[in-house]
Amino acid sequence: MAGSRGSYYSALKRITKAANSAFGLRKICNSVAKSTAKAMQANGCRILSLNSRKEYLITVGTYGLSDLYLKKGPLDARKSLPDILEGRAVFIADATEDERVQHPQVALAQGIASILGVPILERGQAIGEIRIYTREHRQFSEADKNFLFSVADVCAVIFERAELHQLLAQDYKASERRGKPSQLSPLPTTTLRPTRFAHPSEEDFAKLLDFYCIEWLYEPRSFPLRWEGGKIAEMFTPDFYLPELDIYVELTTLKQNLITEKNRKLRQLRELYPEVNVRLLTKSDFLRLLAKYGYGPLGEAKVEGVDRVLYNHARIQRRIRTLARHISRDYAGERLVLVGILKGVICFMADLMQHLSLPVTLDFMAISYYGVDGQVVKITKDLDGSITGQHVLMVEDIVDTGMTLNYILDHLSAHNPASLRVCTLLDKRARRLIDAPLDYVGFETPDEFVVGYGLDYRGEYRNLPFIGILHPGLTKGEQLQE
Protein backbone atom coordinates (compact mmCIF):
# COMPACT_ATOMS: atom_id res chain seq x y z
CA MET A 1 0.00 0.00 0.00
CA ALA A 2 1.40 3.39 -0.99
CA GLY A 3 0.63 6.95 0.00
CA SER A 4 -1.70 9.14 -2.09
CA ARG A 5 -0.75 12.35 -3.87
CA GLY A 6 -2.83 14.27 -1.35
CA SER A 7 -1.01 12.70 1.60
CA TYR A 8 2.32 13.45 -0.05
CA TYR A 9 1.38 17.08 -0.58
CA SER A 10 0.29 17.45 3.07
CA ALA A 11 3.45 15.70 4.27
CA LEU A 12 5.70 18.03 2.25
CA LYS A 13 3.97 21.03 3.84
CA ARG A 14 4.71 19.63 7.31
CA ILE A 15 8.27 18.72 6.32
CA THR A 16 9.12 22.18 4.94
CA LYS A 17 7.58 23.80 8.03
CA ALA A 18 9.79 21.62 10.27
CA ALA A 19 12.84 22.39 8.12
CA ASN A 20 12.26 26.11 8.60
CA SER A 21 11.84 25.83 12.38
CA ALA A 22 14.32 26.95 15.03
CA PHE A 23 14.76 23.43 16.42
CA GLY A 24 18.09 21.60 16.42
CA LEU A 25 19.21 19.33 13.60
CA ARG A 26 18.25 16.05 15.23
CA LYS A 27 14.77 17.21 16.24
CA ILE A 28 14.10 18.56 12.74
CA CYS A 29 15.30 15.34 11.08
CA ASN A 30 13.25 13.20 13.48
CA SER A 31 10.16 15.22 12.52
CA VAL A 32 10.95 14.85 8.81
CA ALA A 33 11.45 11.09 9.22
CA LYS A 34 8.11 10.73 11.03
CA SER A 35 6.17 12.70 8.41
CA THR A 36 7.84 10.76 5.59
CA ALA A 37 7.15 7.32 7.07
CA LYS A 38 3.50 8.13 7.83
CA ALA A 39 2.89 9.58 4.35
CA MET A 40 4.36 6.46 2.71
CA GLN A 41 2.54 4.18 5.17
CA ALA A 42 5.89 2.64 6.09
CA ASN A 43 7.05 1.23 9.43
CA GLY A 44 10.20 3.30 9.71
CA CYS A 45 12.39 6.00 8.20
CA ARG A 46 16.04 6.92 8.69
CA ILE A 47 17.94 10.03 7.61
CA LEU A 48 21.70 9.54 7.31
CA SER A 49 24.63 11.90 6.88
CA LEU A 50 27.77 10.83 5.00
CA ASN A 51 30.99 11.57 6.85
CA SER A 52 33.57 13.90 5.27
CA ARG A 53 35.64 11.00 3.85
CA LYS A 54 32.55 9.33 2.40
CA GLU A 55 33.23 6.15 4.36
CA TYR A 56 30.48 5.97 7.00
CA LEU A 57 26.82 6.89 7.34
CA ILE A 58 25.68 8.57 10.55
CA THR A 59 22.06 8.65 11.70
CA VAL A 60 20.78 12.22 12.18
CA GLY A 61 17.05 11.49 12.18
CA THR A 62 14.84 8.44 12.66
CA TYR A 63 11.30 7.21 13.23
CA GLY A 64 9.81 3.80 13.95
CA LEU A 65 13.05 1.82 14.23
CA SER A 66 14.28 0.06 17.37
CA ASP A 67 17.45 1.07 19.19
CA LEU A 68 18.95 -2.33 18.45
CA TYR A 69 18.39 -1.87 14.71
CA LEU A 70 19.75 1.68 14.76
CA LYS A 71 22.82 0.64 16.78
CA LYS A 72 23.66 -2.61 15.03
CA GLY A 73 27.06 -1.16 14.06
CA PRO A 74 28.62 1.57 11.89
CA LEU A 75 27.11 1.69 8.41
CA ASP A 76 29.88 1.35 5.83
CA ALA A 77 28.89 3.49 2.83
CA ARG A 78 30.57 0.97 0.50
CA LYS A 79 28.71 -2.04 1.92
CA SER A 80 25.30 -0.68 2.91
CA LEU A 81 23.20 -0.03 -0.23
CA PRO A 82 26.29 1.43 -1.99
CA ASP A 83 24.47 2.31 -5.24
CA ILE A 84 22.62 5.11 -3.45
CA LEU A 85 25.86 7.12 -3.35
CA GLU A 86 25.95 6.95 -7.15
CA GLY A 87 22.84 9.15 -7.17
CA ARG A 88 20.25 6.41 -7.75
CA ALA A 89 17.23 5.17 -5.87
CA VAL A 90 17.79 1.67 -4.49
CA PHE A 91 15.00 -0.81 -3.78
CA ILE A 92 15.61 -3.88 -1.62
CA ALA A 93 12.75 -6.37 -1.97
CA ASP A 94 14.06 -8.70 0.77
CA ALA A 95 16.43 -7.15 3.31
CA THR A 96 17.25 -10.54 4.82
CA GLU A 97 18.64 -11.96 1.57
CA ASP A 98 20.06 -9.05 -0.46
CA GLU A 99 23.88 -8.81 -0.38
CA ARG A 100 23.64 -5.00 -0.54
CA VAL A 101 22.31 -4.99 3.03
CA GLN A 102 25.24 -4.81 5.47
CA HIS A 103 23.49 -6.47 8.45
CA PRO A 104 20.84 -8.87 7.03
CA GLN A 105 20.75 -10.94 10.22
CA VAL A 106 19.65 -7.91 12.25
CA ALA A 107 17.04 -7.06 9.61
CA LEU A 108 15.68 -10.59 10.01
CA ALA A 109 15.62 -10.33 13.81
CA GLN A 110 13.86 -6.95 13.68
CA GLY A 111 11.34 -7.95 11.03
CA ILE A 112 12.56 -5.58 8.30
CA ALA A 113 11.37 -6.85 4.90
CA SER A 114 11.78 -4.14 2.23
CA ILE A 115 13.86 -0.96 2.00
CA LEU A 116 13.75 2.02 -0.36
CA GLY A 117 16.62 4.51 -0.26
CA VAL A 118 17.51 7.66 -2.19
CA PRO A 119 20.54 9.99 -2.00
CA ILE A 120 20.62 13.42 -0.43
CA LEU A 121 22.53 15.47 -3.00
CA GLU A 122 24.42 18.74 -2.80
CA ARG A 123 25.67 20.12 -6.13
CA GLY A 124 25.36 16.66 -7.64
CA GLN A 125 27.36 14.90 -4.91
CA ALA A 126 25.86 12.56 -2.30
CA ILE A 127 26.09 13.95 1.25
CA GLY A 128 23.64 11.55 2.84
CA GLU A 129 20.67 9.26 2.35
CA ILE A 130 17.04 8.81 3.36
CA ARG A 131 15.68 5.29 3.72
CA ILE A 132 12.18 3.86 4.15
CA TYR A 133 11.58 0.48 5.90
CA THR A 134 8.56 -1.83 5.80
CA ARG A 135 7.74 -4.99 7.71
CA GLU A 136 5.91 -6.52 4.77
CA HIS A 137 7.39 -7.23 1.33
CA ARG A 138 6.40 -4.30 -0.79
CA GLN A 139 6.83 -2.66 -4.17
CA PHE A 140 7.22 1.11 -4.51
CA SER A 141 5.69 3.20 -7.29
CA GLU A 142 7.29 6.07 -9.22
CA ALA A 143 5.16 8.44 -7.14
CA ASP A 144 6.69 6.95 -3.97
CA LYS A 145 10.20 7.44 -5.32
CA ASN A 146 9.51 10.98 -6.52
CA PHE A 147 8.12 11.90 -3.11
CA LEU A 148 11.19 10.49 -1.37
CA PHE A 149 13.50 12.40 -3.73
CA SER A 150 11.58 15.59 -2.87
CA VAL A 151 12.09 14.92 0.85
CA ALA A 152 15.78 14.32 0.14
CA ASP A 153 16.00 17.76 -1.51
CA VAL A 154 14.58 19.34 1.65
CA CYS A 155 17.08 17.35 3.74
CA ALA A 156 19.93 18.75 1.62
CA VAL A 157 18.86 22.27 2.60
CA ILE A 158 18.61 21.21 6.26
CA PHE A 159 22.13 19.73 6.13
CA GLU A 160 23.56 22.80 4.42
CA ARG A 161 22.09 25.09 7.05
CA ALA A 162 23.37 22.88 9.87
CA GLU A 163 26.86 22.83 8.34
CA LEU A 164 26.81 26.63 8.02
CA HIS A 165 25.82 26.98 11.66
CA GLN A 166 28.68 24.69 12.67
CA LEU A 167 31.17 26.68 10.60
CA LEU A 168 29.92 29.97 12.04
CA ALA A 169 30.17 28.58 15.57
CA GLN A 170 33.72 27.31 14.94
CA ASP A 171 34.78 30.62 13.43
CA TYR A 172 33.20 32.59 16.26
CA LYS A 173 35.00 30.51 18.90
CA ALA A 174 38.28 30.81 17.00
CA SER A 175 37.88 34.58 16.69
CA GLU A 176 37.22 34.82 20.42
CA ARG A 177 40.52 33.02 21.10
CA ARG A 178 42.33 35.34 18.70
CA GLY A 179 40.71 38.45 20.11
CA LYS A 180 39.52 39.81 16.76
CA PRO A 181 36.15 40.06 14.97
CA SER A 182 34.71 36.92 13.41
CA GLN A 183 35.31 36.50 9.69
CA LEU A 184 34.09 33.24 8.22
CA SER A 185 36.95 31.49 6.44
CA PRO A 186 36.77 28.38 4.28
CA LEU A 187 37.11 25.21 6.36
CA PRO A 188 36.88 21.56 5.42
CA THR A 189 33.35 20.14 5.24
CA THR A 190 32.44 18.91 8.71
CA THR A 191 30.44 15.84 9.61
CA LEU A 192 27.01 16.55 11.06
CA ARG A 193 27.39 15.74 14.73
CA PRO A 194 24.95 14.97 17.55
CA THR A 195 23.44 18.07 19.13
CA ARG A 196 23.73 16.65 22.64
CA PHE A 197 26.13 14.41 24.49
CA ALA A 198 25.16 12.44 27.58
CA HIS A 199 27.96 14.05 29.63
CA PRO A 200 30.35 17.01 29.21
CA SER A 201 33.32 14.63 29.25
CA GLU A 202 32.04 13.08 26.01
CA GLU A 203 31.88 16.50 24.37
CA ASP A 204 35.44 17.23 25.56
CA PHE A 205 36.63 13.91 24.13
CA ALA A 206 34.88 14.66 20.81
CA LYS A 207 36.58 18.07 20.65
CA LEU A 208 39.94 16.40 21.21
CA LEU A 209 39.27 13.96 18.36
CA ASP A 210 38.12 16.78 16.09
CA PHE A 211 41.23 18.83 16.88
CA TYR A 212 43.42 15.96 15.73
CA CYS A 213 41.21 15.12 12.72
CA ILE A 214 40.44 11.67 14.15
CA GLU A 215 37.15 10.41 12.68
CA TRP A 216 34.59 9.35 15.30
CA LEU A 217 31.06 8.01 15.55
CA TYR A 218 28.98 8.62 18.67
CA GLU A 219 27.25 5.55 20.15
CA PRO A 220 27.01 3.76 16.79
CA ARG A 221 26.42 0.26 18.12
CA SER A 222 24.68 -1.54 20.99
CA PHE A 223 25.90 -5.00 22.03
CA PRO A 224 23.32 -7.41 23.57
CA LEU A 225 24.80 -8.95 26.73
CA ARG A 226 21.95 -10.89 28.34
CA TRP A 227 18.69 -12.46 27.14
CA GLU A 228 15.54 -13.49 29.05
CA GLY A 229 12.76 -15.46 27.40
CA GLY A 230 14.27 -14.94 23.97
CA LYS A 231 14.33 -11.15 24.43
CA ILE A 232 17.27 -8.86 25.09
CA ALA A 233 17.43 -7.98 28.79
CA GLU A 234 20.72 -6.05 28.85
CA MET A 235 22.83 -4.18 26.30
CA PHE A 236 26.04 -2.18 26.32
CA THR A 237 26.57 0.86 24.08
CA PRO A 238 30.15 2.25 24.01
CA ASP A 239 30.38 6.04 23.77
CA PHE A 240 32.56 6.27 20.65
CA TYR A 241 33.83 4.27 17.71
CA LEU A 242 37.07 5.36 16.00
CA PRO A 243 37.02 3.87 12.47
CA GLU A 244 40.69 4.60 11.69
CA LEU A 245 41.80 2.62 14.74
CA ASP A 246 38.87 0.15 14.69
CA ILE A 247 38.36 0.70 18.41
CA TYR A 248 35.36 1.39 20.64
CA VAL A 249 35.87 3.76 23.57
CA GLU A 250 33.77 3.94 26.74
CA LEU A 251 34.44 6.93 29.01
CA THR A 252 34.19 6.67 32.79
CA THR A 253 34.92 10.05 34.30
CA LEU A 254 32.07 10.25 36.81
CA LYS A 255 31.81 8.33 40.10
CA GLN A 256 34.56 5.84 40.68
CA ASN A 257 32.10 3.16 41.84
CA LEU A 258 30.65 3.01 38.33
CA ILE A 259 33.90 1.58 36.99
CA THR A 260 33.25 -1.84 38.57
CA GLU A 261 29.90 -2.19 36.78
CA LYS A 262 31.34 -1.05 33.45
CA ASN A 263 34.28 -3.46 33.79
CA ARG A 264 31.76 -6.28 34.33
CA LYS A 265 29.95 -5.35 31.12
CA LEU A 266 33.23 -5.08 29.24
CA ARG A 267 34.25 -8.58 30.36
CA GLN A 268 30.93 -9.94 29.11
CA LEU A 269 31.28 -8.04 25.85
CA ARG A 270 34.76 -9.43 25.23
CA GLU A 271 33.59 -12.96 25.94
CA LEU A 272 30.58 -12.67 23.60
CA TYR A 273 32.30 -10.57 20.91
CA PRO A 274 36.03 -11.44 21.01
CA GLU A 275 36.64 -9.71 17.66
CA VAL A 276 35.59 -6.32 19.06
CA ASN A 277 38.33 -3.98 20.27
CA VAL A 278 37.00 -1.86 23.14
CA ARG A 279 38.73 0.28 25.80
CA LEU A 280 37.45 1.78 29.03
CA LEU A 281 38.95 5.16 29.88
CA THR A 282 38.84 6.43 33.45
CA LYS A 283 39.38 10.06 34.40
CA SER A 284 43.13 9.54 34.76
CA ASP A 285 43.26 7.57 31.48
CA PHE A 286 41.40 10.39 29.77
CA LEU A 287 43.87 13.00 31.02
CA ARG A 288 46.82 10.84 29.98
CA LEU A 289 45.27 10.46 26.52
CA LEU A 290 44.91 14.23 26.29
CA ALA A 291 48.56 14.63 27.26
CA LYS A 292 49.67 11.97 24.78
CA TYR A 293 48.26 14.05 21.97
CA GLY A 294 49.68 17.27 23.44
CA TYR A 295 46.30 18.53 24.62
CA GLY A 296 44.83 19.29 28.02
CA PRO A 297 46.32 20.03 31.47
CA LEU A 298 49.26 17.61 31.11
CA GLY A 299 50.39 18.66 27.66
CA GLU A 300 49.25 22.17 26.71
CA ALA A 301 52.75 23.45 25.96
CA LYS A 302 53.28 21.00 23.12
CA VAL A 303 50.54 22.45 20.90
CA GLU A 304 50.41 25.99 22.24
CA GLY A 305 49.96 28.24 19.23
CA VAL A 306 48.55 25.52 16.94
CA ASP A 307 45.20 26.75 15.65
CA ARG A 308 43.99 23.40 14.30
CA VAL A 309 45.31 20.12 12.91
CA LEU A 310 45.35 19.90 9.12
CA TYR A 311 46.58 16.31 8.63
CA ASN A 312 46.77 13.85 11.51
CA HIS A 313 49.50 11.24 11.84
CA ALA A 314 47.41 8.34 10.51
CA ARG A 315 46.41 10.26 7.40
CA ILE A 316 50.02 11.30 6.72
CA GLN A 317 51.20 7.71 7.00
CA ARG A 318 48.49 6.42 4.66
CA ARG A 319 49.44 9.00 2.05
CA ILE A 320 53.16 8.21 2.39
CA ARG A 321 52.50 4.51 1.81
CA THR A 322 50.57 5.40 -1.35
CA LEU A 323 53.41 7.62 -2.60
CA ALA A 324 55.94 4.88 -1.86
CA ARG A 325 53.95 2.34 -3.90
CA HIS A 326 53.87 4.69 -6.91
CA ILE A 327 57.59 5.46 -6.64
CA SER A 328 58.49 1.77 -6.25
CA ARG A 329 56.45 0.91 -9.31
CA ASP A 330 57.96 3.71 -11.45
CA TYR A 331 61.55 2.83 -10.49
CA ALA A 332 61.16 -0.97 -10.48
CA GLY A 333 64.51 -2.66 -11.18
CA GLU A 334 66.51 0.54 -10.58
CA ARG A 335 68.58 1.96 -7.76
CA LEU A 336 67.44 5.32 -6.44
CA VAL A 337 69.19 8.22 -4.71
CA LEU A 338 66.97 10.23 -2.36
CA VAL A 339 68.14 13.83 -1.91
CA GLY A 340 66.68 16.04 0.83
CA ILE A 341 67.18 19.56 2.13
CA LEU A 342 67.89 19.75 5.87
CA LYS A 343 66.13 20.01 8.26
CA GLY A 344 62.42 20.02 7.51
CA VAL A 345 62.43 16.90 5.34
CA ILE A 346 63.81 14.50 7.96
CA CYS A 347 60.45 13.05 9.12
CA PHE A 348 59.06 12.64 5.61
CA MET A 349 62.29 11.17 4.23
CA ALA A 350 62.62 8.68 7.10
CA ASP A 351 59.05 7.38 6.72
CA LEU A 352 59.04 7.39 2.91
CA MET A 353 62.17 5.29 2.48
CA GLN A 354 60.86 2.58 4.85
CA HIS A 355 58.05 1.83 2.41
CA LEU A 356 60.11 1.81 -0.79
CA SER A 357 60.54 -1.70 -2.20
CA LEU A 358 63.79 -0.98 -4.05
CA PRO A 359 67.44 -0.24 -3.13
CA VAL A 360 68.02 3.40 -2.15
CA THR A 361 70.84 5.61 -0.94
CA LEU A 362 70.46 8.93 0.86
CA ASP A 363 72.15 12.29 0.52
CA PHE A 364 71.42 15.67 2.03
CA MET A 365 72.02 19.32 1.28
CA ALA A 366 71.70 22.41 3.47
CA ILE A 367 70.84 25.93 2.32
CA SER A 368 70.50 29.42 3.74
CA TYR A 369 68.66 32.51 2.59
CA TYR A 370 69.90 36.09 2.37
CA GLY A 371 69.11 39.29 0.53
CA VAL A 372 65.86 41.23 0.52
CA ASP A 373 63.11 39.11 2.17
CA GLY A 374 65.46 36.12 2.10
CA GLN A 375 64.80 35.41 -1.58
CA VAL A 376 68.40 34.55 -2.49
CA VAL A 377 69.47 30.93 -1.88
CA LYS A 378 72.96 29.82 -0.90
CA ILE A 379 74.06 26.18 -0.60
CA THR A 380 75.89 25.73 2.71
CA LYS A 381 76.26 21.93 2.42
CA ASP A 382 76.45 20.16 -0.93
CA LEU A 383 76.02 16.46 -1.74
CA ASP A 384 78.50 14.03 -0.20
CA GLY A 385 78.51 11.66 -3.19
CA SER A 386 78.26 11.78 -6.95
CA ILE A 387 74.85 11.50 -8.65
CA THR A 388 76.17 11.42 -12.22
CA GLY A 389 74.35 8.75 -14.20
CA GLN A 390 72.07 7.86 -11.28
CA HIS A 391 68.32 8.11 -10.82
CA VAL A 392 67.65 10.92 -8.34
CA LEU A 393 64.47 11.72 -6.45
CA MET A 394 64.43 15.14 -4.82
CA VAL A 395 62.37 14.81 -1.62
CA GLU A 396 60.78 18.00 -0.25
CA ASP A 397 58.72 18.69 2.84
CA ILE A 398 56.85 21.62 1.26
CA VAL A 399 56.97 23.53 -2.03
CA ASP A 400 55.85 27.14 -1.67
CA THR A 401 56.86 29.71 -4.31
CA GLY A 402 58.96 27.11 -6.15
CA MET A 403 61.98 29.42 -6.25
CA THR A 404 64.14 27.34 -3.89
CA LEU A 405 63.20 24.09 -5.60
CA ASN A 406 63.95 25.54 -9.04
CA TYR A 407 67.39 26.65 -7.86
CA ILE A 408 68.20 23.24 -6.35
CA LEU A 409 66.99 21.36 -9.43
CA ASP A 410 69.26 23.48 -11.66
CA HIS A 411 72.15 22.66 -9.35
CA LEU A 412 71.41 18.91 -9.37
CA SER A 413 70.87 18.83 -13.14
CA ALA A 414 74.40 20.18 -13.62
CA HIS A 415 75.67 16.86 -12.15
CA ASN A 416 74.10 14.96 -15.10
CA PRO A 417 71.92 12.41 -13.28
CA ALA A 418 70.23 9.69 -15.36
CA SER A 419 66.86 11.10 -14.24
CA LEU A 420 65.66 13.74 -11.80
CA ARG A 421 62.18 13.86 -10.28
CA VAL A 422 60.53 15.60 -7.32
CA CYS A 423 58.44 14.19 -4.48
CA THR A 424 56.91 16.66 -2.00
CA LEU A 425 54.71 16.00 0.98
CA LEU A 426 52.98 19.39 0.76
CA ASP A 427 52.27 21.55 -2.27
CA LYS A 428 51.25 25.13 -1.42
CA ARG A 429 50.19 25.89 -4.98
CA ALA A 430 48.43 29.12 -4.04
CA ARG A 431 51.82 30.83 -3.53
CA ARG A 432 53.60 29.46 -6.61
CA LEU A 433 55.82 31.93 -8.49
CA ILE A 434 57.91 29.47 -10.52
CA ASP A 435 56.18 26.42 -11.97
CA ALA A 436 58.70 23.79 -10.87
CA PRO A 437 57.77 20.21 -11.89
CA LEU A 438 56.29 18.02 -9.13
CA ASP A 439 56.07 14.31 -9.92
CA TYR A 440 54.70 12.99 -6.60
CA VAL A 441 52.56 15.12 -4.26
CA GLY A 442 51.24 14.15 -0.86
CA PHE A 443 48.74 16.93 -0.17
CA GLU A 444 47.85 20.23 -1.80
CA THR A 445 47.82 22.44 1.29
CA PRO A 446 45.96 25.73 1.80
CA ASP A 447 47.72 29.09 1.97
CA GLU A 448 48.43 28.86 5.71
CA PHE A 449 51.61 28.66 7.78
CA VAL A 450 51.92 24.97 8.74
CA VAL A 451 54.08 23.28 11.35
CA GLY A 452 54.78 19.80 12.65
CA TYR A 453 56.15 16.58 11.19
CA GLY A 454 59.52 18.24 10.53
CA LEU A 455 58.18 21.69 9.64
CA ASP A 456 59.15 24.37 12.13
CA TYR A 457 58.44 27.92 13.18
CA ARG A 458 61.63 29.53 14.50
CA GLY A 459 63.07 26.13 15.34
CA GLU A 460 60.05 24.77 17.21
CA TYR A 461 57.16 22.38 16.48
CA ARG A 462 59.20 19.94 14.33
CA ASN A 463 58.45 17.08 16.75
CA LEU A 464 54.66 17.26 16.47
CA PRO A 465 53.32 13.97 15.02
CA PHE A 466 50.80 15.84 12.86
CA ILE A 467 50.77 18.86 10.53
CA GLY A 468 48.86 21.79 11.94
CA ILE A 469 48.11 25.42 11.12
CA LEU A 470 49.88 27.87 13.36
CA HIS A 471 47.96 30.65 15.06
CA PRO A 472 47.78 33.47 12.48
CA GLY A 473 48.87 36.05 15.05
CA LEU A 474 52.26 34.35 15.47
CA THR A 475 53.16 34.34 11.78
CA LYS A 476 51.97 37.72 10.57
CA GLY A 477 54.14 38.63 7.60
CA GLU A 478 55.98 35.29 7.67
CA GLN A 479 54.21 33.14 5.08
CA LEU A 480 57.24 31.87 3.16
CA GLN A 481 58.02 28.27 4.08
CA GLU A 482 60.71 27.22 1.61
Residues known to be catalytic: 400
Asked, as a colleague might, if the bond just before 302 is cis with ω within 30 of 0, I would say no
3-state secondary structure of 185: coil
How far is 298 from 292, CA to CA, in rounded Å?
A: 8
DSSP 131-157: EEEESS-----HHHHHHHHHHHHHHHH
Q: What is the DSSP letter of 160?
A: H
CB 179 within 8 A of CB 64: no
3-state secondary structure of 271: helix
DSSP 386-445: --TTSEEEEEEEEESSSHHHHHHHHHHHTT--SEEEEEEEEE-GGG-SS----SEEEEE-
How far is 346 from 354, CA to CA, in rounded Å?
A: 13
How far is 474 from 481, CA to CA, in rounded Å?
A: 14
3-state secondary structure of 59: strand
Q: Which residues pair with 72 in a beta bridge?
A: 221
Q: Report the b/e string of 200-232 with b at 16+ CB within 10 A.
A: ebbebbbebbbbbbbbbbbbbbbbbbeeeeeee
